């Protein structure tokens, strides 16, 4: 799966789950500060990514993810 | 009797409803006065397999939840929270308090709910069974908890005073109104947002109440199913919805030039200590609640000129409530309305919605009729307002609510003495 494809899926997920404008979802966008996601939003978002990409994202690996780009990187490393 | 002065009299200055009879006060009140029932085939979900497949539902278009919450909130609020928060915001806006610089720490919230987000619970349990524990939503707890509306409404309105929810089944709405009045009476709050909400038109809840034999089974004629005090009543009709009021101290309301609609003058409550679902057959538990309401108001039974009864349309409730009224009023029971004939039974929202109706009764000097009252039951020997609305003579209105668990709550609402 291409990185661009993963980014688009994650962007759509952010629009759906976090209720944010598509334009705000960039690689640099920070979940907490820029997309107004609290800790529960992030848990739900991770669940959403697990389902969309059919991967498992353990808490230990999710912990360091602050931006959309980092989320795309994490998912990229799981899907081949 | 509670000592009252202008500082601690509790007056109503704002109203909001989200009900099967309407989602704004004008539509709602017009429908209630019309005596036209609102029950219909269930559309919230496919109810075709259920024993009872009709109920009174809130119309989604009229609710227009997008005007009250963003898409993220809508997905995370159970239906009872959507109904409750929307009605609460309406009451807050109607009061004109917004932006007036009130003391937020003396602005309280008291809500009433029977269960909370039961639809969320049903859905999440299905997900758990299908996909396992990791698929359970992190929003499950804040979505289903019975106190969710109290929390959200306090955040939205900026009310940082006393904040709690009462959970007393079908009595919860009246308990919320009464406990709100007490906060004003005892000087704890200047303002209270108070009301109730319930969203029990769900597969599990409808199945359970049908199994109990509590619901009317008039599937072939839903509009005639809720018929308080009528000889052919056969159970209540489930309804969803919410009602909220803004209550203020008279001094606070007067000072800011608020539109003062009515005053909560009395509040009584009791427990039947008899059976977990059936009321005391002689109505003595309910009577103690009504007597306590009169005592807190310092009023005599003859000061009451209208009763908005609990009147669920179940054989047991309407019979026991009639006897309870005789305990207090003897043979001179004032005219009684059972507005659940129109609205259905909104469970924990019922008492709050009926407090709104009682306030409108006083505002517009008219008693709403009881829908579908054609022939009184053998056990019903009181004056039931039916057919047409009737003029109201300006006295105090008594509103009763009784709940599973044997909870009884009675609220007295009066025109405001200047």
Q: Which residue, among B384, B343, B379, has the nearest Cα to B170 in the 3D structure?
A: B343
Please give the residue of chain A at the shortest CA–CA distance from B135. Answer: A47
Contact B142 A40 (CB under 8 A): yes
Mean pLDDT of the residues in chain B: 97
Distance from CA of B75 to the nearest CA of A (A): 9
Percentage of residues of chain B with pLDDT beyond 70: 100
Q: What is the 3-state secondary structure (H, E, C) of B226-244?
A: CCCCECCCCCECEECEEEE
Residue B367 pLDDT greater than 90, yes or no: yes
Task: Report the pLDDT value the prediction gives residue B6, as an integer from 0 to 100.
Answer: 87
Q: How far apart are CA B178 and CA B399, in angstroms?
A: 11
Residues 6+ away with beta carbon under 8 Å from B175: B112, B166, B168, B269, B351, B401, B407, B409
3-class state of residue B157 by DSSP? helix
**Pick from A18, A43, A47: which is nearest to B72 by CB?**
A18
**Position B418 confidence tier, pLDDT thresholds 50, 70, 90:** low
Q: Where are the domains of chain A?
A: 3-79
Contact A44 B138 (CB under 8 A): yes
| Dihedral angle sign, alpha carbons of residues B133, B135, B139, B144 | negative
Contacts of A43 in chain B (CB under 8 A): 138
List, as one string, the DSSP characters of B49-102.
TSS--EEB---HHHH-GGGTS-HHHHHHS-HHHHHHHHHHHHHHHHHT-TTS--
User: What digits encode the pLDDT tens for the residues B259-276?
Assistant: 999 999 999 999 999 999
User: What digits encode the pLDDT tens for the residues B28-63?
Assistant: 999 999 999 999 999 999 999 999 999 999 999 999
Distance from CA of B142 to the nearest CA of A (A): 10
3-class state of residue B259 by DSSP? coil
The dihedrals phi and psi of B17, each to the nearest 5 degrees, come to -140, 145
Task: Report the pLDDT value the prediction gives residue A1, as an integer from 0 to 100.
Answer: 76
Please give the residue of chain B at the shortest CA–CA distance from A48. Answer: B135
**Helices (DSSP H) in B96-217: which residue ranges?**
118-131, 140-144, 148-157, 172-185, 203-212
3-class state of residue B295 by DSSP? helix
ipTM for the assembly: 0.88
Tokens of B181: 């009045």
Please give the residue of chain A at the shortest CA–CA distance from B143. Answer: A40
**Alpha-carbon Rg of chain B, whole angstroms?**
20
Q: What is the 3-state secondary structure (H, E, C) of chain A?
A: CCHHHHHHHHHHHHHHHHCCCHHHCCCCCECCCCCCCCHHHHHHHHHHHHHHHCCCCCHHHHCCCCEHHHHHHHHHHHCC
Q: How far apart are CA B182 and CA B265, in angstroms?
A: 10
Contacts of B72 in chain A (CB under 8 A): 17-19, 41
Total beta-carbon pairs less than 8 A apart between chain A and chain B: 20
Task: Report the pLDDT value the prediction gives residue B278, as an integer from 0 to 100.
Answer: 92
Distances (CA, A) of B401 to B345, B351, B367, B408, B411: 11, 6, 18, 6, 9
Contact B72 A19 (CB under 8 A): yes
**Position A8 confidence tier, pLDDT thresholds 50, 70, 90:** very high
| Parallel/antiparallel/unpaired status of strands B396-403 and B304-308 | parallel
Contacts of A18 in chain B (CB under 8 A): 72
The architecture (CATH level 2) of A3-79 comes to Orthogonal Bundle (1.10)
Q: Give the predicted TM-score (pTM) of the model.
A: 0.96
Task: Report the pLDDT value the prediction gives residue B4, as an integer from 0 to 100.
Answer: 84
Contacts of A17 in chain B (CB under 8 A): 72, 75
Using alpha carbons only, what angle is made at residue B35 by residues B31 and B40, rounded to the nearest 5 degrees? 75
Residue B313 pLDDT greater than 70, yes or no: yes
**Position A80 confidence tier, pLDDT thresholds 50, 70, 90:** low
Q: How far apart are CA B336 and CA B54, in angstroms?
A: 26
3-class state of residue B401 by DSSP? strand
Distance from CA of B70 to the nearest CA of A (A): 8
**Position B417 confidence tier, pLDDT thresholds 50, 70, 90:** confident
Distance from CA of A67 to the nearest CA of B (A): 20
Q: Which of A21, A34, A36, A38 is catalytic?
A: A38
**Catalytic residue IDs of B:** 170, 310, 345
Please give the residue of chain B at the shortest CA–CA distance from A37. Answer: B72
Percentage of residues of chain A with pLDDT beyond 90: 91
Over range B132-156, report the average pLDDT. 97
Lowest mean pLDDT: which of A58-62, B161-165, B397-401?
A: A58-62
Contacts of B142 in chain A (CB under 8 A): 40
């Amino acid at each position: 799966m291409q990185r661009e494809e993963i980014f688009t899926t994650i962007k759509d997920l952010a629009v759906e789950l976090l209720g944010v404008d598509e334009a705000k979802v960039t690689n640099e966008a920070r979940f907490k500060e820029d997309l107004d996601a609290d800790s529960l939003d992030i848990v739900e978002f991770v669940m959403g990514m697990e389902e969309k990409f059919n991967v498992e994202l353990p808490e230990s690996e999710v912990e360091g993810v602050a931006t959309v780009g980092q989320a795309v990187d994490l998912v990229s490393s799981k899907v081949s | 009797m509670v000592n009252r002065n202008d500082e601690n009299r509790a007056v109503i200055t704002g109203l909001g409803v989200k009900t099967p009879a309407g989602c704004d006060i004008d539509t709602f009140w017009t429908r209630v006065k019309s005596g036209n029932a609102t029950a219909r085939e269930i559309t919230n979900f496919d109810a075709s397999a259920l024993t009872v497949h009709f109920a009174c539902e809130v119309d989604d278009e009229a609710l227009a939840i997008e005007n009250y919450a963003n898409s993220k909130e809508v997905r995370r609020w159970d239906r009872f929270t959507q109904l409750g928060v929307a009605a609460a915001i309406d009451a807050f806006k109607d009061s004109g308090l917004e932006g007036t610089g009130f003391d937020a720490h003396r602005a309280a919230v008291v809500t009433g709910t029977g269960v909370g987000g039961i639809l969320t619970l049903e859905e999440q349990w299905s997900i758990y069974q299908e996909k396992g524990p990791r698929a359970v939503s992190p929003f499950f707890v804040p979505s289903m908890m019975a106190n969710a509306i109290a929390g959200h409404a306090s955040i939205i309105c900026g009310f940082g005073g006393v904040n709690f929810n009462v959970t007393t089944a079908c009595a919860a709405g009246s308990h919320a109104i009464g406990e709100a009045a007490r906060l004003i009476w005892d000087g704890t709050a200047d303002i209270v947002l108070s009301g109730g909400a319930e969203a029990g038109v769900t597969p599990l809840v409808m199945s359970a109440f049908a199994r109990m034999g509590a619901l009317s089974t008039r599937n072939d004629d839903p509009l005639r199913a809720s018929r308080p005090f009528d000889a052919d009543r056969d159970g209540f009709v489930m309804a969803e919805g919410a009602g909220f009021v803004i209550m203020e101290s008279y001094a606070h309301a007067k000072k800011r030039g608020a539109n003062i609609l009515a005053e909560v003058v009395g509040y009584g409550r009791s427990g039947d200590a008899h059976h977990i679902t059936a009321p005391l057959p002689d109505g003595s538990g309910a009577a103690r609640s009504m007597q306590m309401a009169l005592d807190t108001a310092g009023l005599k039974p003859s000061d009451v000129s209208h009763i908005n009864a609990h009147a669920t349309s179940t054989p047991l409730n309407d019979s026991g409530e009639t006897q309870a009224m005789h305990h207090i009023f003897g043979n001179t029971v004032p005219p009684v309305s059972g507005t659940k004939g129109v609205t259905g039974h909104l469970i924990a929202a019922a008492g709050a919605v009926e407090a709104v109706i009682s306030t409108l009764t006083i505002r517009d000097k008219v008693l709403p009729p009881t829908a579908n009252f054609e022939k009184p039951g053998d056990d019903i020997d009181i004056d039931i307002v039916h057919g047409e609305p009737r003029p109201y003579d300006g006295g105090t209105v008594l509103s009763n609510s009784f709940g599973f668990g044997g909870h009884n709550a009675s609220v007295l609402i009066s025109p405001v003495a200047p």
